Structure formats: structure tokens, C-alpha cells
Amino acid sequence: MEITQLLYLQDMAILDCSACILDVLQGEPCVVILDRTVFYPQGGGQPSDKGIIRSPHASFEVQKVVVENGIALHYGIFTQGVFSQQEVVDMQVSPAIRNLHNKNHSAGHLIDYALLSLGYSLISGKGYHFPQGPYVQYQGTLEQNEREALLPRLEDTVNVIASRSLPISVSLQENDPERRIMTVQGYAPILCGGTHVINTQDIGHITIRKIKNEKGYLRVSYSVP
């Protein structure tokens, strides 16, 4: 089976398109395979998109998307009819869900930049950009009094960065078209395959909820509107 063309890699703003059905795997949940998709698959600390795939006679609610061996698997349920192979369908990502994921992911990277500007040259570890309690963590720990002093300074600094209305762009690596570079204007680019807001001001106020030590790592928990 051919590899799925992942349209979000080149343009994060595309939320709908048409595609051709390559296969439908019946089950609980069902799986729909397309020749291309605008749905972001779960990975890189970011959850997958949700949305709808439709044809004139069938409708499929996409609940989760993962990529295996280059093939995007759209998991969900049929709310009407069933697709046929080679049928042309239309897909629509939920704008509200994508927007929340964009804000969470972009905010996590702005925290990286804010910490650096405060003099903390920390090595990034895991990033968890799910709506349920997003956080970023770094190698090493800090004493409690330093963590308590850092929290308000970090919140102020990250929101100053966000308020500057800085454009965020992505580009594909020439030697690896499936890996992207994310750039916030004025800051060092980073490797990131996730989706982001187009401008830092679109994130809204970033609240630093907690800074704690967690098994040899410094974890910064945050939230966005």
C-alpha cells in the first residue's frame, strides 16, 4: 500500500481536503486509510486531530489518527453508511481541537525560549502537549526556593515573548522531507513535527501552573486558554 501524503507537514493551516479511499478495515473502532490526509497523527507529545470524513452516502467520525510504516490510520466510527475503495471523500479537521493543540505545542516551545532568556541553559526532555495537563521537562533539578522564585518570573517572561506578535513558520529539511524545522522569529530554530499557531499572540495568556522536580527532571506544567 502506498505511503500516505501528510499535507499538514507543508501547510499547518489546511484543515480540509479531498482524498481517495485506499482501504476500510471494519472493527471496533473501524480504520479508514486514505491516499492523503490533513489530520495530524498522534506523536511528538501532541495528540491527533479529530474530525469528519464524508462522502455523499457515508460519514465517518475520526477519533484518533496514528502513522504506521508511513500509512496514516484513521480510527473512528461510521455514523452513516460505509466507504468503498477508490471512492473520493472530503475530510474536515475540527478547528477548535486543532487550535487548542496548536496553542499548547507552541506555548511549550516558548517556555524553552523563556527559560533560556532567564539564564537557564537546560537540556529539553519530554514534552506533553495534550490538553489534559500539558508540561515540558528538562534534565536536572532545582531547589524548592529557586523553583518558587522562578515560577512568576517565567510566567512573566514567556508572556512577554508571546505578546510580541512573532510569526511562527515551519520548513521541511532538504535531506529528510518528513522532518520539519519550526522557527519563532528572532529565536533559534528547532526540529519539531507538530502543529503550531501562526503567530505567538494567538496563544493567549500562558499560565505556569507548577514547577517541580520529577525523577531527576525539572517539570514545568502550564495551561493556555
Residue that terminates a domain, selected from 93, 119, 140: 93
Phi, psi angles (nearest 5°) of residue 67:
-110, 125
Lowest mean pLDDT across 5-14, 78-87, 96-105, 136-145: 5-14
Residue that terminates a domain, selected from 93, 117, 135: 93
Q: Taking residues 114-124, report their average pLDDT.
A: 95
Domain identity same for 89 and 126: no
Looking at residue 178, what is its pLDDT?
61
Domain identity same for 133 and 205: yes
Domain identity same for 110 and 208: yes
pLDDT single digits (tens) 139-163: 999 999 999 999 999 999 999 999 9
Range of 41's domain?
A: 5-93
User: In what helix (H) or strand (E) does residue 111 lie, and over which residues does it extend?
Assistant: helix 95-117
C-alpha closest to that of 166 among 98, 113, 126: 113
pLDDT tier at 1, thresholds 50, 70, 90: confident
Q: Taking residues 159-184, report their average pLDDT.
A: 87
Neighbours of 134 (CB within 10 A): 25
82: domain CATH number? 2.40.30.130
Name residue 203's amino acid: I
Domain identity same for 113 and 39: no
Judge whether 67 and 51 are in contact, CB under 8 Å.
Answer: no
Domain identity same for 108 and 197: yes
Q: How far apart are CA 189 and CA 156, in angstroms?
A: 22
Domain identity same for 77 and 131: no
Can you name the residues that pair with 143 across neighbouring β-strands? none
User: In what helix (H) or strand (E) does residue 103 lie, and over which residues does it extend?
Assistant: helix 95-117
Q: Which residues contact 96 (CB under 8 A, 6 or more apart)?
A: none
C-alpha closest to that of 141 among 153, 125, 155: 125
